[in-house]
Amino acid sequence: MSTAGMPMKSRANDIRGRLGSFARARAVRTGRPPRGAYEHYFIESEGIHSRIHLQNFWSTFWPQVDESATAHVFAFDADGTPLGQVERELPRFNSLFLEIRDLLAELGAEAAEGTVAVDLEPPQGVRTHFHELPQPEAIEIKTPFWMAYYDGSENFMYVHSIEMLHGETFGAPRLLKRSIDANVPEGAPWRSWRLLEVDQLSELQIVAINHSPKPRSSTVGVYPANAEQALWSDRFDFAPRQLRRVHVPAEVIAGWRERVSELPFARVGLDPLMTGNGKPYVLVRYADGPLSLHHG
């Protein structure tokens, strides 16, 4: 494709795009496509514990390769401070179940909450097959995993991968990593499709996370099911990778219950999402039941 006749800025963008596609394709041919790590919230308080569930998915796609994959697990405190990194070997077809309290003990860290991210590095035998994949210029590999949350009564809650650890790319050549890491766009205003039943609602906490390596700001709010005017909201600034567990005041929730005939349901929202899919986690209690955790 010729760039003749294009405006200078468009021409430069087109050239950068083609160079990026070439670099990605070459990285795939040499067994070094860019890898991204998903990032999950963890909590070790409020009577709730957290556990990583990770499968060696490389052996699902290339079962003939009898080699172990390496899981790199990264932990961050609630303020975004790195707590450290551990590694685990996952043999073919195996899974990893890692208690967060064990991870923190191994790191010599104390944290009531924070985030963890996982990059599952492929074995060498798998790398030799990457060139067989279609559209090598578009390949970017991610490590999905489940986070389990549970309490002392064995109430279990599970959340699958939601958002990436932005600003960190693994495995790829340095120049390609730099071009990917530099682009962390802000998300759009967001409202949850999950409705909260107001009549029995007794506790509500919203965990907003800045998955970006840059400072961001967002309004955390609760909204009627079918209206945009906030029932309650507050604006917060976030440092890079910082999270905030926001408690909706008990008296505010009590006021909603008094209006249950006109306000049967509510939903949480962020304005804006601090990254493209950086949706919050929600802790909710109905009446005197257990505290549950779900993705917003």
Burial zone of 132 (CB within 10 Å; 0-12 exposed, 13-18 middle, 19+ buried): exposed
pLDDT one-digit tens code per residue, 119-169: 999 999 999 998 888 887 777 889 999 999 999 999 999 999 999 999 998
Other Cβ atoms within 10 Å of 134 Cβ, number: 6
| In a shared domain, residues 118 and 206 | no
Q: What average pLDDT does this structure show over 167-177?
A: 82
Short-list 133, 144, 129, CA closest to 65: 129
Nearest to 247 by CA among 208, 218, 196, 276: 208
At residue 151, the pLDDT reads: 96
Let me know whether 27 and 164 are in one domain: yes
The enclosing H or E element of 105 equals: helix 100-107
Q: Are residues 164 and 217 in the same domain?
A: no
CA neighbours closer than 13 Å in the CB half-sphere of residue 264: 1
Q: CA-based Rg of the chain, rounded to a whole angstrom?
A: 22
**In this structure, are 169 and 232 located in the same domain?**
no
Q: Which domain holds residue 95?
A: 8-181
Is the CB of residue 205 less than 8 Å from the CB of residue 245?
Answer: yes
Pair (227, 281) in one structural domain: yes
The mean-pLDDT minimum among 162-171, 217-226, 246-255 falls in: 162-171
Q: What pTM, to 2 d.p., does this model score?
A: 0.89
Q: Is the peptide bond preceding residue 272 cis, with omega within 30 degrees of 0? A: yes
